[in-house]
Structure 1
Amino acid sequence: MSRRASFIDRGLGETRGGVLLDDRPERLFVVRDDAPQRLRLGARLRARVRHVEPQLGIAFLDLGEGAEAILPFKPDARPRQGEALEVEIRVEPRAGKLATLRALGPAQGEPALLAQAPDLTEVLAGFVGDEDPVTGPEARALADEAEAEALQTVHPLPGGGTIAIETTRALTSIDVDVGDRKGAEVKRVTRQANLAAITEGARLLRLKGQGGLVVFDLAGRGHDGTALMNAMRAAFQPDNPGVAIGPVSRFGTIELTVPRRAAPVLDTLCDAGGRLTDRSLAQRLIRRMEAEAAANPGARLQVRCAPAVAEAAAPLLESLAGRIGRRFEVSPEAGRGREAFEVSAS
C-alpha cells in the first residue's frame, strides 16, 4: 500500500513544502514571503465586479492592490457591474492566466483580503493527515530533490525508458520512449513501459503542478485499452474530483483533463523562457551560504556571483546576518554565469 509523508523547509525568503509518495517527491509548493496573499488558493476576499462578459459567462473582478481575477457564472446568476461580492480563490493564477474565483455571496465595502489562504502546514495535512512533517536539514534535502526533479523535462522510468513532459499554453504532452528497456518480447516490453509511464507521469504532473489538458503519446501500437484505462484511473485517483479520461485513440494517444488548482511550481521558479529566475538563484545562493556557515563556524564567507543574482539576494542578506552573523562579503562579478556562484570560507 502506498504511503505518503510531508516535509517543510522554512528558509529565508521562502518556505518549501511537499508530499512524498513511497519516499519519492509527489508534490512541491514554493511560497515566497513577498508573494501576494490575496491570490493564493483558498484566500477569501471582498471584490468588486469591474466588467461582465455575458457571452463568455465570465466577469472580471477587482481584488484590490492591483490584483484581478475572473468569476465564471451561469446565465441565471449574472453579476452586476460595480457590485461587491465575497469570493474565494478557487484556482491560482498561472503564466498568462488570471486566478479563478468562486462566489460566496453579496458584500459591502471596497476590495479587501478577508481571510488568508490556509498555511502550508494545513495544505500538507490535507494530503497526509495529522502526521507531523519532516523539518530541519532532512526537509531541506528533500525540498532540493523535489525541486531538481520538478525542473527536469526528461525523466527515467523504472526498468528503463524515459518520458518527456513538456507544456504549452494549450496542453501538456507526455512522450513515452522505451529506450534501452530490456526484454525479449517487444510487445510485452512496450506494454510495461506504457504502464510505468502512466504511473510516473501522474506523479510528476502533481509534482510540477501541471493540469488542464494532458496528452500521453504512448509507445508502440496495438495497445491493451482496458489495462491502460485501469492504470490511468488508478494513477490519477489522487487528482479527483474532476479528472476526465478519454479512450486510447487510433494514433496511440490518451487524452485526459486534470483539474488545475494551485499554480505550477515552475511559474514560481522560472521565467517565461523556462530559466530559473534571479530570485530563485538568489534563494539557492542563500541556502549555500547557510550550509557553508554551518560547516565552518566562525569563518568568514566570500561569495562571488553574477550582479543580477547579487541584486536579487540583497533583500535577504539582512535576515541571513541575523541568523549567521555579518561574516560574509558578496562580490558581484560582471561576466560570471548566473548559476556559477561560488561560496568559500576563510
Structure 2
Amino acid sequence: MPARWRGLRAVITLHYESRFGLARGAVCIDGRPHLYAEGYEFNQSLTIIGTRSVARLKAKAGGMAFLAMVDGDEAVLDVPQEVLARLNEGAALEVGIVAEARQDKRARACLIGPVEGEPRRLSPVLSLKERLLNRANAWGEIFESTVDLGVLGMAEEAALNPSGALPEGGYLSIERTRALIACDVDSAGGEGIATSKAFAKGCNERAVSDIGRRLRLSGLAGLVVIDLIGKRHDAERLHRLLKGGFGAEAGQLIVGPVGKFGTLEFVRPWGATPLMDTVHSPVRSAHRLLREAVVSSEGEPGRLLTLRAPAGILDIIRPLLAASYDPLSAIIRLEAATRSEVIVT
C-alpha cells in the first residue's frame, strides 16, 4: 500500500511523453506504477470519464435510457426508474460521464438535470496529462520527473497484464471473464521461506493489499472474486488491507464477507476504459508505429522514414503529422500496406 496511506510521505512521480498529438503517461507511488493512460493528447470525445455535456434523450427501452451526444457518440443514462418515467424522448439533458465504454458496453452517464438548448460540450477539453493528474490528486503532491521510457514501458505492460509475482513471494493471477474479475492467490515459490501456514497468510495479505493498485492500473472493475489460499481467515484484517490498498477510492467499494470456501468478493465501479480493450484500436496502432519511428530515427538520424500500415491507421497518422511542428514530420512518408512497419532509407 502507498506510504501516504500508511501515514508516511510517499514519493509520487509522473512520467509523461507527448509527440505528434499523441501521449502516454504513468503515475508511480514509491516507484510502483498506479496509473497508466495513452491516446490523443487532447481527446475531444464526450464519453471520457468526468466530461459534462448536454445530450439528447434518444430512446427509452426496457427500462433503459439511451443518449445521443453532439459528437455522434452514444451513452447509457443511469437514472432511477421513477425519474426516467418523467423524461420525454428528445429532451435536452445535462449529463456527466461516470464510466467509459468497454468491450461491448456503451459509456454510462449520470443525470444532472433537464436544460434548454441544443446538445453541446460543457466541460473544457483536458490534456491526457491533466486527466492523469486529476485522478492522482487525492494521493498528495506530484513530483514530476523527466520522461523515463523504461518506466512507461513497465507501466504499460502491467496495465495490459495485471497478473504477476507478489513482493516477498507468491503470485496473484487476475483474469477477466464476462461476468467478473477472477483472482487467484498462489504460494508457488514460497517453500522454505517460512512455515507453510505463515507463508500462505502472508501471500493472502500481500495480494489483498496490492489488488487495488493492479485493478486501478489495468482499469478492471465490476464484481471481483479473490480465491485466497486456505479456508480460515482473519476477515477483519483482510478487509482493512483491501480498503487500505484502494486508498481514497475505498469508499466506493462494496465489500462482502470472506466466504466459507475462502473467497473474498467486492464490487469496484467501472471507470476508465481498460487498456486491454484498446490493444487492436487504430489509434493505439498509430501511436505504436509513430513511437517505433522515433526510435528508428534516433538510430539513423537524418534518414527518410517510411511508415507502412493499413489505410485506417494511416488516416489517423496523416492529420497528426500535418498539424505537428515536430522536425521528424518532415522526413516521414506514408505508404499503404497490409502490416505495419517502419522502413529507414
Question: Shorter chain as normaliser: what TM range?
Answer: 0.7 to 0.9
How far apart in 2 are the matches of 1:253 and 1:106? 44
Q: 1:333 to 1:63 in 2, by over 3 A?
A: closer
Task: Report the 3-state secondary structure (helix = DSSP H, G, I; strand = E; otherwise coil) of the residue aligned with 1:116.
Answer: coil
Q: Which runs of 5+ in 1 are unaligned?
A: 272-276
- 1:146 counterpart residue number: 155
* CA distances 1:90-117 after superposition (whole Å, capped 9, x unpaired): 2222221122212222222332223235
- 1:323 counterpart residue number: 327
- Equivalent in 253, 261, 264 of residue 263 of structure 2: 253
* CA distances 1:161-210 after superposition (whole Å, capped 9, x unpaired): 22221112221111111111242411111111111111222211010111
- Residue 311 (structure 1) shift: 4.2
Matches within 5 A, 1:102-141: 102-126=110-134, 127-128=136-137, 129=140, 131=142, 133-135=144-146, 137-138=147-148, 140-141=149-150
How far apart in 1 are the matches of 2:31 and 2:328? 32
Q: 1:96 to 1:312 in 2, by over 3 A?
A: same
- Residue 330 (structure 1) shift: 6.5
8 Å Cα contact 2:43-2:125 kept in structure 1: no
- 1:174 counterpart residue number: 183
Matches within 5 A, 1:38-49: 38-49=46-57
Percent identity between the two aligned chains: 31
Q: 1:248 to 1:312 in 2, by over 3 A?
A: farther
Q: 1:278 to 1:119 in 2, by over 3 A?
A: closer
8 Å Cα contact 1:14-1:31 kept in structure 2: yes
- Residue 323 (structure 1) shift: 2.4
Task: Report the 3-state secondary structure (helix = DSSP H, G, I; strand = E; otherwise coil) of the residue aligned with 2:252.
Answer: coil
Q: 1:87 to 1:213 in 2, by over 3 A?
A: same
How far apart in 2 are the matches of 1:325 and 1:231? 49
One-letter amino acid of the counterpart of residue 143, structure 1: L
- 1:163 counterpart residue number: 172
8 Å Cα contact 2:65-2:76 kept in structure 1: yes
- 1:282 counterpart residue number: 286
Q: Which moved more, 1:119-128 or 1:214-223?
A: 119-128
Q: Which runs of 5+ in 2 are unaligned?
A: 5-9
- 2:7 counterpart residue number: none
How far apart in 2 are the matches of 1:312 and 1:181? 51
Q: 1:306 to 1:76 in 2, by over 3 A?
A: closer
- 2:76 counterpart residue number: 70
* CA distances 1:4-48 after superposition (whole Å, capped 9, x unpaired): 332322132422123112111101122325855211112221111
How far apart in 2 are the matches of 1:102 and 1:263? 17
Task: Report the 3-state secondary structure (helix = DSSP H, G, I; strand = E; otherwise coil) of the residue aligned with 2:36.
Answer: strand
How far apart in 2 are the matches of 1:48 and 1:333? 40
- Residue 317 (structure 1) shift: 5.2
Q: Which moved more, 1:121-130 or 1:167-176?
A: 121-130
Q: Which moved more, 1:312-321 or 1:242-251?
A: 312-321
Matches within 5 A, 1:236-275: 236-268=246-278, 270-271=279-280
Task: Report the 3-state secondary structure (helix = DSSP H, G, I; strand = E; otherwise coil) of the residue aligned with 2:113.
Answer: strand
One-letter amino acid of the counterpart of residue 241, structure 2: A
TM superposition score normalised by structure 1: 0.83
8 Å Cα contact 1:281-1:309 kept in structure 2: no
8 Å Cα contact 2:230-2:262 kept in structure 1: yes
* CA distances 1:69-108 after superposition (whole Å, capped 9, x unpaired): 1222234423222211111212222221122212222222
Matches within 5 A, 1:165-314: 165-182=174-191, 183-268=193-278, 270-271=279-280, 277=281, 279-298=283-302, 300-301=303-304, 311=314, 314=317
Task: Report the 3-state secondary structure (helix = DSSP H, G, I; strand = E; otherwise coil) of the residue aligned with 2:46.
Answer: helix
| Aligned: 1:16 with 2:27 | no
8 Å Cα contact 2:20-2:321 kept in structure 1: no
How far apart in 2 are the matches of 1:342 and 1:189? 49
How far apart in 2 are the matches of 1:251 and 1:165? 19
* CA distances 1:211-258 after superposition (whole Å, capped 9, x unpaired): 111111112332232322221121123323311111111111111011
TM superposition score normalised by structure 2: 0.83
Q: 1:144 to 1:235 in 2, by over 3 A?
A: same
Query: Aligned pair count?
Result: 330
8 Å Cα contact 1:288-1:343 kept in structure 2: no
How far apart in 1 are the matches of 2:142 and 2:93? 37
8 Å Cα contact 1:213-1:258 kept in structure 2: yes
8 Å Cα contact 1:19-1:26 kept in structure 2: yes
Task: Report the 3-state secondary structure (helix = DSSP H, G, I; strand = E; otherwise coil) of the residue aligned with 1:241.
Answer: helix
